[in-house]
Amino acid sequence: MTASTLYEIPLTLIDGTETTFDRFRGKTVLVVNVASKCGFTPQYAGLEALYRRYKDEGFVVLGLPCNQFMGQEPGDEADIASFCELNFGVSFPLTEKVDVRGKHQHPLYAELTTFKSGPLPGLIKWNFEKFLVNSAGQVVDRFASTVEPESEQIVRAISRETAVVRAKTPE
């Protein structure tokens, strides 16, 4: 996978806005497949906290709702957006509902799952798996659903990547 390939991938935001992953060029992005009725759903709070903590340092969380794991994201886009805002104050970008594996796998996940490093190579196993994409558009880390967003492991990885962005930014 090349960064240019990743940046060309089309995305439809939860409000219907058509865009590409290129809107995140130069930023560190934590890409997460999310669901409203999952045991990991409370991670929305941690994801929002990370986003607020690091967004001024070129960091963004991108949530992609998915209903492929035991039907844990049954609502439509309006339901999902409302749930996230009302229950967790989510202000980070969300996309329309997507498939993260299988025949109709979203192109972003087709690219992300080529990242073979770490304990989770290949297919998405469950909701709230996390991929860290650096400011150059390269996947640099992958975290299991069980790894909390504000864990030392994720915070350290985000801090490392945002430091690279800060080092490149002229004062």
Residue 147 lies in a domain: yes
CA angle, residues 106, 107, 111, in degrees to nearest 5: 120
Residue 103 lies in a domain: yes
Residue 21 lies in a domain: no
Residue 138 lies in a domain: yes
What torsion do the CA atoms of 20, 115, 4, 108 make, to the nearest 10 degrees? -20
In which domain, by residue range, is 113 found?
A: 3-13+27-163
| Contact between residue 135 and residue 165 where contact means Cβ atoms under 8 Å apart | yes
Mean pLDDT over 2-7 rounds to: 74
Task: Name 106's Cβ contacts closer than 8 Å, sequence gap at least 6.
Answer: 64, 98, 99, 100
Q: Which amino acid belongs to residue 103?
A: K
Count of domains forming the chain:
1
| Contact between residue 80 and residue 36 where contact means Cβ atoms under 8 Å apart | yes
- Name the residue with tokens 């799952």: 113
Residue 171 lies in a domain: no
Q: Where do the DSSP E strands lie in 26-166?
A: 28-34, 59-65, 130-133, 139-143
Catalytic residues: 38
- Distance from first CA to last CA of the chain, Å, rounded? 32
Residue 170 lies in a domain: no
pLDDT tens sequence across 106-160? 999 999 988 765 555 678 999 999 999 999 999 999 999 999 999 999 999 999 9
Give, in order, the Cα–Cα distances in Å from 103 to each of 1, 64, 66: 20, 17, 14
pLDDT at 107: 95
Reply yes or no on whether the pLDDT at 165 is more than 80: no
Mean pLDDT over 68-88 rounds to: 96
| Contact between residue 68 and residue 102 where contact means Cβ atoms under 8 Å apart | yes
What is the CB neighbour count within 10 angstroms for residue 160?
14
pLDDT at 123: 83
Residue 152 lies in a domain: yes
Mean pLDDT of the chain: 92
Q: What is the CATH number of the domain that holds 124?
A: 3.40.30.10
